[in-house]
Chains A and B, each alone.
Chain A
Amino acid sequence: MKKLLILSVSLTLLALTTACESFVEVETPQSQLTGSEVFENHNTANAAVLDLFAKVRDNGLITGSALGTSVNLGLYTDELIYYGTTDENVSHIFNNSLLATNPTARQYWNDSYHQIYCANAIIEGCQQSVSLQEPYKTQFTGEAYFIRALLHFYLVNLYNDVPYIATTDYQQNRLASRMPKTLVYEQVVSDLLQAIEMLSTSYLTPDRVRPNKATAKAFLARVYLYQENWLQAETLATEVINTTDYVWETDIDKIFLKESTATIWQFSPKMEGNNADEASVFIFNDGPPPFVGLSPGLATAFQPEDLRKSHWINTITDGTSIWYHAHKYKQNTNTGTSLEYSVVFRLAEQYLIRAEARLKQGNEIGAKSDVNLIRNTAGLPDTPAVTEAAIFNDIMLQRRLEFFTEYSHRFFDLKRTGQLNAVLTPVKPGWNNTDAHWPIPETELLANPNMTQNPGY
């Protein structure tokens, strides 16, 4: 025993002098890859890009889940009513009484910039990669530009002036200042032009879950519309409409099916058999609604014969009261094989973009023909509007009826056309003029000395 002890002590003391440096140097864990390794291989680089899409699908501004803008901006405007009682955060959104400490305002901000970071990491990773083949580099970088543009577009529409983040360098990003809205738009356009350049013409897979050239164009058409660059908006929308991949769907029951030929970009679900998150968020079987229901104002805005009312809205009653829920997506459980994907860009928007752009350029006939396509598919006759103002109003009404509870269209449309106060003040007791912009999260103000708050918060 004695010898053993002496031996062990001397051995370890010896080991100490020779091997100590290596003992505390550990290998990279098996479950992790270094940043540079990821972009040297097509499969791992692809996994990084797919993760970005998954993040956008599950969190932040563009998720179809209950956390997304489809719910929260629907509540914030006049689309949805909050029937629950327990969630103070949601009730603040519904009552337009947001504070700078609101968790959703913080989450949208943080999630979006995290996703933007991931996009920038892909752009930089592809740039520095030695062995990744060019076609992959181009594809991944194009997708990252597309997502970066998309997120900044949503941010600028929600918070007004926001920093445009185009690098992963935290030293620079932690002191980022708010960029004026018009410059943010210029950056979005520039990113999209690069994306159009880089993305392939055809879809990588037939399920249209990864953006292609036409997707970036469809989005750019929307951006030009918001910029009131009517000519470009019309040109881009026309290019998308004329793309052979897209065939107008006249059966409104098929528009949200995953095979819809009118879909431009949709999310691949988390698991096979899963369907669009929206269905489980909106559907309820008995009233009163446990979470949210469509506002009666929206339900009564449809003409009785409008197929969208009978097919995309479900009416629930207990005999005395009536409630409505959005029913665009019908599968609220796992169906083994997925039937519906959450659609982010669809052809109807391109027609309505073009209608508005044509109208603003004086082409009333063209505008009416585009809006009539939407109306007719919904079972409505051609628009009776004759004056420019009336046609414009019908386009805005069709946008409201077509895109309800879809990714904040309603809020952004009211905002860009200057109708927010006029429309919301009568129906939302808590509405103030400063509510057009969401508050910059307080955590952001605390952590970044260059950040400023929007008025009213």
Chain B
Amino acid sequence: MKNFLFSRHRLEIFCLIFSVLPLTIQAQSQPHKITGTVSDNSGVLPGVSIIIKNSQTATISNGNGGYTIEAKPTDTLVFSFIGYKTQYITVNNQTKINVILQDDATQLQEVKVNAGYYSVKEKERTGSIAKVSSKDIEKQPVTNVIAVMQGRMAGVEVTQDSGAPGGAFQIKIRGQNSLRADGNQPLYIIDGVSYSSETIGSLNTSGMMPTMTSPLNSINPSDIESIEILKDADATAIYGSRGANGVVLITTKKGKSDKTVFSVNASTGVASVTKKLDLMNTQEYLAMRAQAFANDGITTYPDYAYDINGTWSQDRYTDWQEELIGGTAEINNLQASVSGGSKNTQYLLSGNTRLETTVYPKAFKYRKSAAHFSMNHTADNNRFKLNFSANYTAQNNNQPATDLTAVSRTLAPNAPALYDANGSLNWENSTWDNPLALLESEFFSKIKDFNANAVLSYNILPNLQLKTSLGYTDLRSNESNTQPSTMYNPAYGLGSEISGISNNITSRTSWIAEPQINGNWNLGKAKVEALLGTTFQSQITNRLFQSGFGFSSNSLIHDIASANLKAIDLSDEAVYNYQAVFARINYNYDSRYILNITGRRDGSSRFGPGKQFANFGAVGAAWVFSEEKLLQGNSILSFGKLRTSYGTTGNDQIGDYQFLDTYVSSGNTYQGTIGLQPIRLFNPEFGWETNKKFEAALEAGFFQDRIFLTSAYYNNRSTNQLVGIPLPGTTGFQTLQGNLDATVQNTGLEFTLASKNIAGNDFSWTTNFNISFNRNKLLSYPGLETSPYANTYVVGQSVNIVKLYHYTGFNPLTNLYEFEDVNNDGQITSLADRQTIANLSPKYFGGLQNNLRYKNLQLDFLFHFVKQQSFGYMPGVPGTAVNQLSEVSHQQLPFTSGANGEVIAAYYRYGLSDAALQDASFVRLKNVSLTYDIPLKTKDLKCQLYFQGQNLLTFTPYNSGDPEFKFSGYLPPLRVFTTGVKLTL
């Protein structure tokens, strides 16, 4: 109650207490009915929870803020709601209790955060948990659940694979733990059900994306209430083998009140490429080409040098980036929801549909539709509770099979027109590959994703609860990639008899059952909570890859049955079974000293006999020192907590059946028989990868928590690295699954600052800032010198390094780039002379978010920043028929038409030298959201207009395109503007 002492609203509280006081005299012991209204300073508050202290009786306020509850005069009613101070009111003889809840930051410490199997009060948590809630998610015009976290959470690094619709995002929580590039995925849990983020589909059909299709696109951001990221051992050890890379908990929206509320939200917007490269114009380009041939001593341009030998007009100029990726994509989004219910039962039903077109010069569409249903029920006796929610998402994506970004940058600026006079594709007498022909080959993806879960709980005693969480997921993906004959140059004379289609059908279903028992006991000033549970999970993935070839007409291409030749390239089923026991004991002494012990024993079918089980556990402790007598009532420090944790987690992201020595059908036919091929080198011995995490953190709130600061230090060590060990080709395979005796360490500092700069009734201003520094280091690797990684890693350095040549300058005599000959053997060799180490991990990254509100107008903006270095744009040897950055023409560079092998070798060495590295740091205005609540006479209707923008401004010294990219040559993140209106009735 110390908070009350400093409350700005002390007066109201006193009034309330005094108004209650006279009634206590007539105290009775029989329960009676109490009604009332709960409101805050601006109006009624639905959804406030009203509990009778030390009992199971509870209710929540309805849509008008009203409530009814039966209580005895000696009872105390507890009114609580997220973001407001909890109020305790003794009933006495009152029959009508109206309460005005006070908005207070300090009270946020009372809010429970989701830790997965349990929830914990913000101020009493011992683990490291970051959170993004729907109010931030809704401000971003994005479709991917990972995108909404970018720049908003400390320690969470998010990058986008491709700006094309359906493009995946990569997430790294506190750095790279596993040497395996694909072994760093966090565990995703949606409403308690684990959601596999393993890619679906096949490289044959995935088309334009640099990575295979990510199922995470199926999660609809507008249905998310909050995302919590568990980072340290204390929070993740209860997820055992799957917690090494952090856990992402997604909680979907629930119905809150019994009042029926309708809401409609419609928006429309446009998107375009953020940044184009500054490339040569025709004059600069042809000058470079001429110089290149002159350098090579070639006086007669070869037949095939169409750009310069006069075959193509030398006066033409086309900005190919504008032509091929310079379009404007349209984005339309419509969402509607209805929620309501009764005192005991609430529901929410919402639907959403979104349509995106692309920046390419042809109509391609991405459509995503989603439905979400949620229902909560509490039995009259308050002992039985049921939560059910179901989500269904359908995505329909049609994209070109090739991303035109790369070709838009390399095509000669005087290349011919795309269309001839008749409006058909121009092949200019076979002198070029018309880039629009690439669009003839298309990618189609239909993904339907259903997931449902139910949580049933029953209090056998007031302090002992049985609970079962049940879940089911069903993902169905059908992808195809068409290669019609029209994508080829007509000079080949090919017709639909060579048209082909590749198709893959993947389905993944899983179920999970997690029976649990949990209880809590008060032992004087101490509280003990305990949890014991078990998990059974099974996942089955079926894949069917087919191809058809040769059609009587290209319009039949989607019908594999019409193909002259049909082949089934793959047909398999993979089973993943997973089983665990987990437990938690939490000891809380006087809300000052808290000890949290979690553990899990895990078994996974991904490991061979004898290797399936492993134990994981963690200890977390917190000391809320602001509760100590010495600091209680301190006028500056309103909250202070020190917490620390240590424990182990694991990683089983290795794929199914990797321990078996097996042959599978290769799909290759010889003599009409399908072949059988060995699929891997056999190693039955591999086991769990272990990750030890340590964290120490200080959380402090000042001036009634108006300024709240957290700083965390962590040290994570991953040992027994489970990797696809790269092997030389002489072994017949490129990798072997196995454990490496290597230790990777990630240490880091994370700071977050939340500040309520101004908190007036008309005007308020809050600022949130986060910054993360992660240092990755390969701590030890016995036998590195003789291992396949000998030339990739260095002990003591990050695992994200590249070894580079050291560039010593341009030698005008030889017309070549020169590099340091480290071993002085007179020649430059990649093994001996690439000894300069460059670290490509970001040095630090973070975000700065501001929220300004003036009356009904709200402005929110987020800056995202990253300090990093990256390779510059290296499209190919200058002088060959590849366009270059326009700055290349102003530099004295060794151009060659392709004949001078030394120049080519030097160019590629340059590309692998420290000279090719650039500062690719950036500060980006990631998100802007402006919202205006139209003041209306009626309180029943709310109308909100909004504007949202994504990737609006970028400040960077990087001259090679968008600095925020992971894969060169793919569409960078797009700049998006949307406007919309939201009606709530």
Contact = CB atoms under 8 A, between A and B. Distances in A.
Most buried by B among A36, A287, A290: A290
A205 B671 contact: yes
Contacts of B573: 29-31
Given A29-B573, A99-B908, A432-B901, A271 B669 contact: yes
Given A9-B515, A121-B678, A284-B492, A163 B730 contact: yes
A290 B433 contact: yes
B898 A95 contact: yes
Given A5-B466, A31-B573, A44-B676, A444 B728 contact: yes
A261 interface: no
Contacts of B113: none
A336 to B, nearest CB: 8
B831 interface: yes
A8 B515 CA distance: 8
B536 A51 contact: no
B661 interface: yes
Nearest to A164: B730
Interface in A1-41: 1-2, 5-6, 8-9, 12-13, 16, 20-21, 23-38
B430 A290 contact: yes
Nearest to A109: B729
A114 B668 CA distance: 15
Interface string B548-574: 011000000000000011010001111
Interface stretch (B472-480, B523-531, B787-795): B787-795
Interface string A192-232: 00000000000001010110000000000000000000000
A333 to B, nearest CB: 5
Interface in A94-108: 94-101, 106
Contacts of B677: 48, 51, 55, 118
Contact of A12 (B536, B578, B731, B898): B536
A141 B838 CA distance: 49
B901 A174 contact: no
B86 to A, nearest CB: 30
B407 A270 contact: no
A250 to B, nearest CB: 29
Contacts of A110: 729, 734
Assign chain A's interface to a size class. 35 or more
Interface in B490-520: 490-494, 497-498, 513, 515-517
Interface stretch (B327-335, B604-612, B840-848, B947-955): B604-612
A5 B730 contact: no
B670 interface: yes
B657 interface: yes
Given A8-B468, A26-B577, A26-B605, A35 B678 contact: yes
Interface stretch (A132-140, A370-378, A393-401, A448-456): A448-456
B731 A286 contact: no
B881 interface: yes
Nearest to B466: A5
Nearest to A56: B670
B382 to A, nearest CB: 13
Contacts of B731: 113, 117, 170, 173-174
Nearest to B516: A9
A290 B662 CA distance: 42
Nearest to A83: B304
Contacts of A268: 670-672
Given A46-B673, A321-B303, A113 B729 contact: yes
B605 A24 contact: yes
Interface stretch (A85-93, A307-315, A408-416): A85-93
A12 B579 contact: no
A391 interface: no
Contacts of A67: none
Nearest to B829: A453
Given A51-B677, A100-B830, A290-B430, A31 B605 contact: no
Interface in A120-165: 120-121, 163, 165
Contacts of B824: none
B946 to A, nearest CB: 44
B681 A170 contact: yes
B380 interface: no
A447 B726 CA distance: 7
Interface string B239-251: 0000000000000
Interface string A54-91: 11011000000000000000000000011111101001
B792 A50 contact: no
A85 B732 contact: no
Given A12-B515, A26-B577, A333-B498, A50 B671 contact: yes
B618 to A, nearest CB: 22
A30 B534 CA distance: 29
B59 to A, nearest CB: 21
A285 B491 contact: yes
Contacts of B668: 51, 54-55, 58, 270
Nearest to A335: B497
A175 B785 CA distance: 12
B697 to A, nearest CB: 35
A437 B104 CA distance: 76
B675 interface: yes
Nearest to A431: B901
A31 B545 CA distance: 13
Contacts of B515: 8-9, 12-13
B786 A449 contact: yes
Given A5-B466, A86-B407, A176-B728, A20 B603 contact: yes
B575 interface: yes
B306 interface: yes
A31 B665 contact: yes
Most buried by A among B298, B433, B576: B433
Contact of B661 (A34, A165, A272, A318): A34
B429 A288 contact: yes
Nearest to A87: B433
Contacts of A5: 456, 458, 466, 468
Interface string B580-603: 010000000000000000000001
B736 A170 contact: yes
Contacts of B736: 170
Given A34-B660, A118-B677, A429-B296, A290 B489 contact: yes
Closest 6 CB pairs of A and B: A117-B732, A51-B675, A54-B668, A448-B728, A286-B491, A97-B901
Given A290-B488, A446-B790, 5 more contacts: A25-B612, A32-B679, A95-B898, A285-B493, A334-B549
20 contacts: A5-B456, A6-B460, A9-B517, A20-B603, A23-B577, A24-B577, A29-B657, A32-B572, A38-B663, A50-B671, A97-B899, A99-B905, A114-B733, A118-B678, A273-B564, A288-B429, A288-B431, A290-B488, A334-B565, A443-B726
Interface of B: 296-298, 303-304, 306-307, 384, 407, 410, 412, 429-433, 456, 458, 460, 466, 468, 488-494, 497-498, 513, 515-517, 534, 536, 549-550, 564-565, 567, 571-579, 581, 603-605, 609, 612-613, 656-657, 660-666, 668-679, 681-682, 726-734, 736, 785-786, 788, 790-792, 829-831, 876, 880-882, 898-901, 904-905, 908
Interface of A: 1-2, 5-6, 8-9, 12-13, 16, 20-21, 23-38, 44, 46-48, 50-55, 57-58, 81-86, 88, 91-92, 94-101, 106, 109-110, 113-114, 116-118, 120-121, 163, 165, 168, 170, 173-176, 205, 207, 209-210, 268, 270-274, 280, 283-290, 318, 321, 333-334, 429-430, 432, 435, 441-449, 451, 453, 457
